[in-house]
A = this chain, B = another copy of it.
Amino acid sequence: MVSALSHLECSACGSRYDADVPQQVCRDGKPLLARYDLAAASRTLDARALREREPSLWRYAELLPLRDRANRVTLGETMTPLLPLARLGARYGVELFLKDEGLLPTASFKARGAAVGVSRAKELGVTAFAMPTNGNAGGAWAAYAARAGIEAHVVMPRDAPHVNRLETVMTGARTHLVDGLISDAGAIVGRAVRARGWFDASTLKEPYRIEGKKTLGFELAEQLGWSVPDVIVYPTGGGVGLIGIDKALRELHAIGLLDGRMPRMVAVQATGCAPIVRAFDAGARESQFWAGARTVAFGITVPKALGDSLVLDSLYATGGTAIAVDDDSILAKQREIARDEGLFVCPEGGATLAGVAALRERGWIAPGERVLLVNTGSGLKYPDVPFEQPALLAPSDDL
């Protein structure tokens, strides 16, 4: 179980970089991706070996960047469940599954990126980092930084969920709010890292967060018996999870664990912030900044993602699509998943079912197809969603 990491490569121009010193982006400003000696990885990473490994994301060590397991920073990154949704599947005429990322530490899929990103930062000697966030990534990176003993500076929009502010402060990150969007937070972080020499942990401005996210793809393929569903529906803000799943499935193919058939990747966005959908509909290779972005699914309020072209590449290459759903349907589907399957997902999770409903109506998803929803976090992180207040009884009242 030794990392087969070989080098970093620019996702746009293909330039090669040394992986064993801290790196940010390529000199052309584009994200760097980790590359592995896949032949070496395939010699020890197989289905049989995996059966005896611990049920955490670290089980895929050959395809993770960490050199020395002593540098693992862990809060208990369990494998998240892949649950059949039989009632909802019957209702929408598909074979439906949900990957519940709300059971990770900090209750969101951001823990995957933070576990691997912070561990690798520690391994490379980083002692302080800064990052912008819509909330969940800040919460996750703050927690792992505390566990690692690394100094964290986090900037989030003032409208970010209260809970994210709370968890980020509680775990000791230097936390700041900005009167603006995540793009404004990003600009502040950009100036700060230049002025202070901190490591920039912004999405895709360092190469290892996506390596953690990638494990979502490893897990789902393993949990489906080394196969992939027909369709994967992903709530898309920065889109790193979608890029990570795509990268994971291709790497599994390269080492012989998958047959190479890819699922059609679907990016779901909110009608109040749908730059990827607009770009996809126009057949563009990049998105444009979405002015006035606003949706109840705060985690996907990303007006312009650094990885937008990688997301679009995946949608085009897999025969996927992008679809926007409105806030009413997001909240309605969140309630539907909770009431009918017992899973209190986040609004972003609700958005994925709204996407399925719309794509079934359009006929884009065929009857009986195997569809996987990615629920990126727990509904508990959004306590302010509307709900019907229960009746108040006196102690002497009867039900």
Which A residues fall within an 8 A CB radius of B? 51-52, 55, 74-76, 78-81, 83, 100, 103-107, 130, 142-148, 153, 155, 158, 162-163, 165-172, 175-180, 184, 187-189, 191-192, 195-196, 334-335, 338-344, 378-381, 383, 385, 387-395, 397-399
Contact = CB atoms under 8 A, between A and B. Distances in A.
Contact of A184 (B144, B195, B395): B395
A387 B166 contact: yes
A391 B342 CA distance: 38
A378 B107 contact: yes
B171 A344 contact: yes
Given A55-B78, A167-B380, A188-B397, 19 more contacts: A51-B52, A75-B83, A103-B104, A105-B343, A142-B342, A146-B338, A158-B392, A162-B383, A166-B387, A169-B387, A170-B387, A177-B392, A178-B393, A179-B393, A180-B394, A188-B398, A378-B380, A380-B381, A383-B383
A192 B378 CA distance: 32
A168 B165 CA distance: 24
Contact of A395 (B179, B335, B390): B179
Given A103-B78, A171-B338, A380-B380, A176 B399 contact: yes
Contacts of A146: 338-342
A340 to B, nearest CB: 7
B79 A78 contact: yes
Contact of A178 (B145, B167, B338, B395): B395
Contacts of A78: 55, 78-81, 103
A237 B170 CA distance: 25
A143 B342 contact: yes
B55 A79 contact: yes
Nearest to A130: B399
